[in-house]
């Protein structure tokens, strides 16, 4: 555990969430992605905790949180976080997310605007029809093949293939999408262990199986009116495209040369941008 932080559990929205909390000030929720846990923010939590009460949950299906049979649409997952905040006595919070967490952060802001002071998303936005255009086969000079989107939507087979072998996925994604030097052996082992059981693989895959429901839900969401910060490395333009017409007060920051998992690869940059934006 990170010094100054504690690990807790809460019963919310019909499921049990694990979260890590520490610091003083206004609440700031950090929402992680795949294949990660709350630990993906371990580099940015201590400096942020000097300014905010930092709350880093394991999402439904992730880490030490429950892995129920359903509820992996981002609207339900956002409700989990909303009820977690209410259980802590907070009526409003700053919301930030990376990867799947970014999708949940957008859904939180859309469904609970009264509870959202500002929202920061990086590297990916809420699922839109753009997701249906992602190529399965590699196309030189265009978006890379996001083959894991398809694999993670298959029933049962990923559990059979990856049980006890998830370290291969962790290492491949780091090499493909980022800077391998930014990840210690301990960090890689944490993620491999978190996703190596059949239930953990199934839980994480639930986020991908729900993408078509997420796209349908978005059609009924209002335009976000609270300030929004979009941060991107390789995928900034994809994020801009996803957010087009969905946020009335958006600004963007490009971290040139950054990979996908920015909180771990460029922690100082993320801390700087979040503090400046939320101030």
Show pLDDT as tens, one digit a residue, over the chain (279 residues). 899 999 999 999 999 999 999 999 999 999 999 999 999 999 999 999 999 999 999 999 999 999 999 999 999 999 999 999 999 999 999 999 999 999 999 999 999 999 999 999 999 999 999 999 888 888 887 777 889 999 999 999 999 999 999 999 999 999 988 889 999 999 999 999 999 999 999 999 999 999 999 999 999 999 999 999 999 987 898 899 999 999 999 999 999 999 999 999 999 999 999 999 999
Q: For strand 228-232 and strand 250-254, is the pairing parallel, antiparallel, or unpaired?
A: parallel
Q: Does domain 5-278 have CATH number 3.40.50.1820?
A: yes
Asked if 242 contacts 126 with a C-beta cutoff of 8 angstroms, the reply is yes
Site of tokens 């936005």: 125
| Cα-Cα-Cα-Cα dihedral sign, residues 255, 117, 1, 187 | negative
d(CA 111, CA 75): 7
Quick check: pTM over 0.95?
A: yes
Q: For strand 116-122 and strand 93-98, is the pairing parallel, antiparallel, or unpaired?
A: parallel
DSSP helix/strand/coil, 227: coil
d(CA 98, CA 5): 21
């Amino acid at each position: 555990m990170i010094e100054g932080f504690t690990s807790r559990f809460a019963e919310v929205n019909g499921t049990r969430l694990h979260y890590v909390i520490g610091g003083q000030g206004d609440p700031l929720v950090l929402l992680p992605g795949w294949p990660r846990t709350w630990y993906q923010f371990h580099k940015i939590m201590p400096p942020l905790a000097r300014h905010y009460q930092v709350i880093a949950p394991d999402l439904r299906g992730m880490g030490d949180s429950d892995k129920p049979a359903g509820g992996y649409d981002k609207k339900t997952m956002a409700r989990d976080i909303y009820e977690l905040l209410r259980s802590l006595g907070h009526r409003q919070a700053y919301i930030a997310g990376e990867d799947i967490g970014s999708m949940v952060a957008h859904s939180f802001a859309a469904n609970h605007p009264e509870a959202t002071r500002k929202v920061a998303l990086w590297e990916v936005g809420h699922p839109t029809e753009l997701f249906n255009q992602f190529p399965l086969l590699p196309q030189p000079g265009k978006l890379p093949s996001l083959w894991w989107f398809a694999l993670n939507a298959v029933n049962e087979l990923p559990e059979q293939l990856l049980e006890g072998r998830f370290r291969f996925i962790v290492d491949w994604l780091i090499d493909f999408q980022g800077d391998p030097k930014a990840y210690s052996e301990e960090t890689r082992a944490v993620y491999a262990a978190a996703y190596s059981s059949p239930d953990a693989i199934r839980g994480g895959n639930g986020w991908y199986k729900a993408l078509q429901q997420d796209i349908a839900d978005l059609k009924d969401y209002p335009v976000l009116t609270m300030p929004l910060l979009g941060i991107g490395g390789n995928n900034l333009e994809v994020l801009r495209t996803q957010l087009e017409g969905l946020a009335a007060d958006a600004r963007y920051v490009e971290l040139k040369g950054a990979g996908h998992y920015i909180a771990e690869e460029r922690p100082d940059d993320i801390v700087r941008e979040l503090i400046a934006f939320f101030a």
